[in-house]
A and B are shown apart, each in its own frame.
Chain A
């Protein structure tokens, strides 16, 4: 044994690296030889090391840390042994140093504590000692029960001493201070595990982030003592300007603010703690200027209050304190808001104020949501302040301060914006949402304010644009002097932000929910009903060409909510009057986005959703009102105008089409839409494939086509519906027919014009298909079906043009995705047949193809993805089927099923799925999804695949299982379970498929018992293991025996034997059915809790 050698090296060598290695060797050997060593040997080694570190203060810190780690590991290793009291010895030693009053000794004590904490915390930072998770866990619990509090007391002792040291601090004091603060932080962030540990944590050494401070009741005397909070704040005051120390002290404060759990035995103690904390906290933030590095933790403290102390605790504070807390919170929120705006203007790389500001807003929302619990009106002033500040920060002078702050950066206007850059509406989504909530608390302030600000800017924009246009007209075109756009840009930026805020005031982000007019807005409008005049309100809305204030009576008689909305219509009106080259695409996008949010909420609202409806809102936007019809017509005109004016701005077009789709996706609205001439004009342009369709991108064309089809679900006048479909659907057929009947098609098909026409038609058909809904599926299928036959011909003709090939595949994919689930048996059969032909053709032209193009691989990659997607979608028919299955006319003819198509497809795809391709996560996922689906539905067909193909399939699954992510592994497990179930239930033992499973049993067995394993997968993995055991009981026995034989420890051996026998106890029969599977799952859950703790080793 190397101990004598190592100790002598430590005593004599001067080389730090050698010392380090000696310490490492001691650590590793003691762990290795633990059972062979006498307790007295270990104890003497420990005291040698202790003595060494305390007496060799000059060694390099990395050597000292290594020795301390060795000490900590020895102590931890002996934790569960009654014969040793190493921990006691070490703690006595620490106590001695702590109380010594000597800084250097205290530093050593701190290092020891820190090493112990790291080892006992059982995270990835703890040393590997080759012992089970259970061992680590028991040590941690023992440490928590007897020593952790003591460690905390040590820290407080030192802090207390340092608290009284006068400023400025010497270098030595700073070192100790820093160290002890870091340890205090470590303890305050300690993860106290609950008695019943959640399954996911068993066997895991991963640290949990953001642990709240939840000490046991026994800590009450220290933690609830006001002196603790007082001291921590005092210390923070002392060190806050030192970045490193302040970092620890802030974290400590923030952790203390998250105090929760058994430490509080009643609400009184909570109120008492919070009250005291807030008192000291307010003293801090009112007495100092918050530094940049502090802001985030200040916000975290507030956030922790809100998370860990329910509103009833706040309302139990003295009213005076609560109000003063709210007042100060308002102040720092406004302060952070200004700083955040400055950060944004200067494009700070690390926008901490932004983050802190959002955290504060988030905290506020707890109050805003429970406003009724708080004293009446106590949020009115804060809301107004925060809204005003927020608007000021985003508006130009004189109303705001934006440019004054922004001038710090020269050339801001010239900056390049990439498309990857997130739009403000996404980037600031959360804060805008909070600001919207504040606005609603004070609608009587915010609604008129926003109207006024918007109206002013709209008329200024109008004036500016006229000036610019006059100037441009006066300048000869040859004279390319640049127009100064800074004024207009500034107005545009204001408008952009006002639109963002107004949208969040007026509407909720209602994805997945029924959009409703927010109650405060409705209430506000109703509350003013007695002074409102509907006539005037409608005049304000209906004359966007005039400034609102010029309309008689508008200031008193117009509903303020309608007026705010009409301000956006006025903006549209100004945009209509000017050339796009002088307008801002950004503002146009924001306008369209505003309406996309607004339309589902306000336009033709469902009155039955509301207990009370505002007369003014209803007159302006309600069902069967002139206002509603006018609004729809106005928006539609705007949309169609945009398609031409803005065709070169992809973002504007996308937002415009999103608005169009929103307008037509509800029948009530599309009923009004088809009454407008504009939509008919658009349909005619579409039929003629004329402007603006020729200028739009492919995706925009598709989107537009989808919207046109959706509009067709409206109720039409008499036979005008036929006319509409003639334009939107039949015209496509006619164009298609015209191409296919061209003279000498085989020759002219190569002409670009013909090819582009084909591409445009395929795009249109994709768009039509995307519009599929249950109410139009029959119509659309009747339209598409004959065209699909032609598409097969197109594929044959254009097999050399990958852009066409790709579109044909895409069309089939869209159909399989959007229509399959609604189709009846006969129609489905047609789709299966067409798809089969498409796959055959694709295979014919692509197998054995050799190309010089560098991008062929990418093309094939995307084709392959699409093909798999088509097949998966076809199969989903077996899961989701709303189709009509009554027609049996297919009897007698050869029936092609989805499974046949997929199996045929697998023939082509499996050989192409190389290990290289499986490395692409998306491709691997689509592949496994397809394979798992088909096997679940048709296991027999998969098991009967020709051997080489089945072998290749199994190999690809193995690769996916070992290298894929969670989702892929889940699919692999499902695949294995399906195969195993099929084999077991049909007695296919001895078949090729059966033999291939044996290997998977080994893999899954190891994965579950011995390797780090994502416990989220357990619900899939455990039945899979069961199915595999049923198929290969012999192999399972062998695996169990081999695992048992590796257990050297008698007790664990016995536990494992018992666990295994409980796992497959008599109640479980090796029969794959629901009862036994569930029984096994339950047993296995227990089994893992029992054994993973000692099988997983670190």
Chain B
């Protein structure tokens, strides 16, 4: 960790998760539960018998589906922690099949991300209004894309001054 080179070496082809001792996990951090990347929303400890050793009870929400997962394990065990990456894109347009047209900082575009609950067809107009009004105010709509364990999803939208 102390070595500067470490930082760059993980850039590509790296594992999607890394191990961490259960006791070092933190609430609001991430963990893999039942093979899903989860945000830890609750962490508590218990023990078997008064002189027993601690066990950690984890409750997590799948960061993509919001589904709740739980697990309990000895606090000495290692758990897998997912790498969760967030990238911002400018929203340029939508496709008719409900895909976003996004552009990154370098001007590269992509249109492989589908609408999420945030802008289901029912709310398409909402999002469109957001884009139009942003344009009128000289702003862009910025989408935040989360990526973890091979899944990618638009999780947030906000109006922002163009960079």
Contacts and interface: CB of A to CB of B under 8 A. Distances in A.
B101 interface: no
What band does the interface of chain A fall in when counting residues whose beta carbon is under 8 Å from B?
35 or more
B44 interface: yes
Nearest to A852: B118
Contact of B23 (A650, A743, A747): A650
Contact of B22 (A648, A698, A852): A648
Contacts of A690: 2
A581 B105 CA distance: 52
Interface string B126-163: 00001000000000000010000000011111111000
B2 to A, nearest CB: 6
Contacts of A1014: none
A753 interface: yes
A879 interface: no
B87 interface: yes
Interface in B75-101: 75-76, 81, 83-88
B28 A584 contact: no
Contact of A585 (B51, B156, B157): B51
Interface string B1-31: 1101011101100100010011111101100
Contacts of B51: 485, 488-489, 492-493, 496, 584-587
B49 A414 contact: yes
B158 A697 contact: no
Contacts of B14: 751
B54 A648 contact: yes
Nearest to B84: A752
A855 B10 contact: no
B155 A585 contact: no
A651 interface: yes
A639 to B, nearest CB: 17
A648 B23 contact: yes
A649 B88 contact: no
Nearest to B26: A698
B155 A853 contact: yes
Contact of B118 (A585, A689, A738, A851): A851
Interface stretch (A235-243, A255-263, A416-424): A416-424
Interface string A711-750: 0000000000000000000000001001000110011101
Given A850-B156, A855-B61, A748 B11 contact: yes
A216 to B, nearest CB: 54
Given A648-B75, A748-B7, A750-B86, A696 B24 contact: yes
Nearest to A421: B46
A855 B39 contact: yes
A413 B23 contact: no
B109 interface: no
Interface of chain B, main secondary structure: mixed
Contacts of A530: none
Nearest to B27: A698
A586 B8 CA distance: 43
Interface string B43-57: 011111111111000
Given A800-B144, A850-B156, A852-B117, A647 B23 contact: yes
Most buried by A among B46, B51, B74, B157: B51
Contacts of B18: 752
A697 B28 CA distance: 13
Interface string A844-871: 1100111111110001000000000000
A486 to B, nearest CB: 10
A378 interface: no
Interface string A690-705: 1000111110000000
Given A489-B49, A493-B51, A803-B29, A649 B158 contact: no
A735 B105 CA distance: 28
A753 B1 contact: yes
Contact of B46 (A412, A416, A586, A738): A416
A688 B46 contact: no
A15 interface: no
B19 to A, nearest CB: 12
A312 B65 CA distance: 74
B10 A751 contact: yes
Contacts of B28: 802-803, 806, 859
Contacts of A34: none
B68 to A, nearest CB: 10
A385 interface: no
B24 A695 contact: yes
A754 interface: yes
B158 A852 contact: no
Contacts of A221: none
A848 B158 contact: yes
A845 B23 contact: no
Contacts of B107: none
Contact of B21 (A695, A748, A848, A850): A695
Given A649-B23, A650-B75, A753 B160 contact: no
Contacts of A848: 158-159
A920 interface: no
Given A649-B54, A802-B28, A750 B85 contact: yes
A648 B61 contact: no
A750 B44 contact: no
Interface string A647-659: 1111100000000
A565 to B, nearest CB: 23
B63 interface: yes
Contacts of A752: 10, 18, 81, 83-84
Contacts of B153: 852
Contacts of A689: 1-2
A415 interface: yes
B117 A648 contact: no
B24 A651 contact: no
B160 A844 contact: yes
A517 B10 CA distance: 57
Contact of A697 (B23, B88, B144): B23
Given A417-B50, A694-B24, A844-B160, 20 more contacts: A418-B44, A419-B45, A488-B51, A489-B50, A581-B53, A584-B51, A585-B47, A585-B53, A648-B53, A648-B74, A689-B2, A697-B23, A753-B6, A754-B7, A757-B1, A800-B156, A845-B158, A850-B156, A851-B155, A854-B66
16 contacts: A415-B48, A493-B50, A584-B51, A585-B52, A649-B23, A697-B23, A698-B26, A750-B87, A752-B18, A803-B26, A806-B28, A845-B158, A848-B158, A852-B155, A853-B155, A854-B61
Interface of A: 412-420, 485, 488-489, 492-493, 496, 581, 584-587, 647-651, 688-690, 694-698, 735, 738, 742-743, 746-748, 750-754, 757, 800-803, 806, 844-845, 848-855, 859
Q: Which A-B residue pairs are the 9 nearest by beta carbons?
A: A584-B51, A648-B75, A800-B86, A648-B76, A648-B23, A752-B83, A851-B156, A849-B158, A492-B51
